[in-house]
Amino acid sequence: MFQSGELTLKRQKDSIRHLARNPLQFSLALIIGLSLVLFIVVPIIYVLARSLGAAEGVITLEYFQNFFDRSYYYRALSNSLILAFTVTSIVVTLCFMYAYLVARMHSRLIATILRSIAMVPLLAPPFIFSISLITLGGRRGLISQLLASLFGIEFSIYGWTGVILAQIIGLFPLGFMMLENVLRSMDLNLEEASSDMGAGQWKTLLGITIPLVMPGILKAGLLVFIKSIADFATPMVIGGGLPFLATDAYLLVVGQHNMEMAAVLATFLVLPTMIIFFIQNYVLTDKTRTTISGQSGVTSQIKMHRSIRGIFTVSSILSAILIVLAFGVIFWSAFVVIPGVNNTFTLDHFSTRTGWSAMGTSLQIAAISAFIVAFLGVIQAYLNVRMKIYGSRIMEYIALFGMGVPGTVVGIGYILAFNQPPLHLTGTMTIIIISMVLRHLGVGLEAGISKLHQIGINMEEASWDMGASKVLTFFRVVLPLMGSSFMYGFIYTFMCAMTSISAAIFLVYPGTTLGAVYILQVAEQGAISRAAAMALVLISIVALCLFTLTKLISRTHLARM
């Protein structure tokens, strides 16, 4: 990994000379690099500067002083941290048990069903589950009424219970995906060897499996943590007025136009991301242990110990029920007049022109952003891996960092940075697309990089050898071979762009709104059924597009690569 200084210098010189000779590559690299800096780094700098009083032209800690003086904001910080810790530990625990069960299960069918259930929340904006929870446990909710009539208990989901539950459901897919991945890639012979040596299954689980997948568990935990802290919509809908960093940052901007305090809150939001990003890239990578080589090829047939299976199954069934229930309730609320009060079938909730046009806008923006991310991802990956351009590593880091920055911070940063010349972009669709692209470029890039490493350079060399230029080779050989990573980048960005809300809500302008933003707005006004109906539309659109795209991939040659 580490090159000597001389080598690095030589490489720099080489790549500079190389770039000078390839104006196309040079300009591409320059454009991507500049965009990354301009749309990821600069907005964050604006936020930090504003929190330190940049608007008045002085550097002051006054706003931070205010933050700590007022217990309300101080509590927002501690609430956000408590929430993130709680949700992360619950999600990681539940997901580990769920993923372990799915990964080690003998029945393929049940595993597929369980996996699908765990992944469905991806189809919807995460705050959607607050709507279901309100229908169930709100003041007039089904469960609340039941509890009141049976035991005379007054139950309300608003507040901690609601926020935690909603975030667990919303973040479940993220934790599950990562943990299933690491559990599957683990060499099962290691577990078998442990039991062969006489260790019981609990001992094997605690002494072999968990230590070996620990890097994966930590990584999943960090991601869930970032997402939980950055989520401003869930506390807004179901938080019952409790202060949280992201939510209050939003309210400060939209309600009071207090940019300074919003910037302070945003600073506290972005700090954990920075710390976690550092941990992930420097601490975790060094500690990951490589498993000793060897193909095992055999599937484990060892029966899970009764106590492990019992506990894991019960917890996983509960998780699955929670997810299915949350989705079922959205479905049901969308089609009845007032859920639980007047259960007559109706389609009224679907008749909203604003809602439908918002969906259309979303679709447009998501498709455009997804295409740009997929394409730029391939190009940047190519420049990174094959051209070995100086600074490509930094560009990669910025792109990855951009994915982790809370949307609220990006939103505030964009408002601060781009609402005046020279770049007056607020109030346009362009800036929404830019925010979507830059926040997901990392995915396209990583997919491209791993694909390129997998392809190997031989095929390109063969193409040059037969007389094709580099540009021609890129379009005729590299691009087709990278089809699968292109599609991956596209699908991921599309899904995120359809469902994400945090940055977009700052950037929508009068007359134009996005699907997810519209749903949040009506939910906030208490029109739960309308929100549910439009959420259903959004989920259907995402599911349909996903279905078509995956079908398209498996039909074409892309599936085989």
Partner 1 sequence: MSEEPILQVKDVVKKFGPVTALSGVSIDVHRGEIVCFLGPSGCGKTTLLRVIGGFYSQDRGDTYLDGKLINGIPPEKRDTVMFFQNYALFPHMNVYENVTYGLKVRKYRKAEMAEKAREILTMIQLDGMEGRYPNQLSGGQQQRVALARALILNPKLLLLDEPLSNLDANLRAYMRDEIIKIREKLNLTIIFVTHDQEEAISIADKIAVMREGDIEQIGTPLHIYRYPASIYVADFLGSANFLDAEVINTDDKGNSEINTNIGKMKINLTMNKFKPGDRGKAILRPENIKVSLNEPADKSSKGNVLEAEILKGTYLGATIMYEVKIDNEVLTVEIRNPKENELLAPGDQVYLQIPENIHLIEEDESKNTASQ
- Interface positions with partner 1 (CB under 8 A): 187, 189-190, 192-201, 203, 208, 211-212, 289-296, 298, 300-303
Q: How many alpha carbons lie under 13 Å from residue 260 in its C-beta half-sphere?
A: 16
The nearer residue to partner 1, 200 or 427, going by C-beta atoms, is 200
Do 410 and 43 touch, CB atoms closer than 8 A? yes
CB of 291 to partner 1, least distance (A): 5
Phi, psi of 338 (to 5 degrees): -130, 115
The nearer residue to partner 1, 147 or 214, going by C-beta atoms, is 214
CB of 1 to partner 1, least distance (A): 15
Report d(CA 387, CA 28) in Å as an integer.
12
Alpha-carbon distances, residue 55 vs 68, 224, 245, 506 (angstroms): 21, 34, 22, 20
CB of 193 to partner 1, least distance (A): 4
Tell me which H or E stretch contains 44. Answer: helix 42-51
CB of 306 to partner 1, least distance (A): 11
Report d(CA 173, CA 118) in Å as an integer.
6
Contacts of 16 (CB under 8 A, 6+ apart): 390
The SS3 assignment for 428 reads coil
CB of 99 to partner 1, least distance (A): 20
The nearer residue to partner 1, 199 or 325, going by C-beta atoms, is 199
Residue position matching structure tokens 């990669």: 396
The SS3 assignment for 424 reads strand
The nearer residue to partner 1, 287 or 560, going by C-beta atoms, is 287
Supply the DSSP symbol for 60.
-
The nearer residue to partner 1, 5 or 198, going by C-beta atoms, is 198
The nearer residue to partner 1, 181 or 300, going by C-beta atoms, is 300
CB of 305 to partner 1, least distance (A): 8
Instruction: Name the token pair of 444.
Output: 């396209």
The nearer residue to partner 1, 211 or 480, going by C-beta atoms, is 211
The nearer residue to partner 1, 310 or 328, going by C-beta atoms, is 310
CB of 217 to partner 1, least distance (A): 14
The nearer residue to partner 1, 182 or 520, going by C-beta atoms, is 182
CB of 95 to partner 1, least distance (A): 22
Give the dihedral sign, CA 378/448/389/275: positive
Report d(CA 507, CA 427) in Å as an integer.
7
CB of 560 to partner 1, least distance (A): 24
CB of 111 to partner 1, least distance (A): 15
Instruction: Name the token pair of 51.
Output: 């929190």
Mutual angle of helices 392-404 and 23-36, in 10-degree steps? 30
Do 482 and 452 touch, CB atoms closer than 8 A? yes
The nearer residue to partner 1, 207 or 391, going by C-beta atoms, is 207
Contacts of 137 (CB under 8 A, 6+ apart): 143, 144, 155, 156, 157, 161, 162
The nearer residue to partner 1, 206 or 472, going by C-beta atoms, is 206
The nearer residue to partner 1, 182 or 229, going by C-beta atoms, is 182
Buried b (16+ CB within 10 A) or exposed e, 194-214: bbeeebebeebbeebbeebbe
Chain mean position to CA 452: 24
CB of 181 to partner 1, least distance (A): 18
CB of 309 to partner 1, least distance (A): 13
Do 178 and 216 touch, CB atoms closer than 8 A? yes
Report d(CA 466, CA 501) in Å as an integer.
49
Strands, DSSP E only, in 265-391? 336-338, 342-345
Supply the DSSP symbol for 303.
P
Q: How many alpha carbons lie under 13 Å from residue 315 in its C-beta half-sphere?
A: 19
The nearer residue to partner 1, 294 or 511, going by C-beta atoms, is 294
The SS3 assignment for 345 reads strand
Alpha-carbon distances, residue 504 vs 125, 357, 391, 410, 429 (angstroms): 12, 16, 30, 9, 10
CB of 177 to partner 1, least distance (A): 24
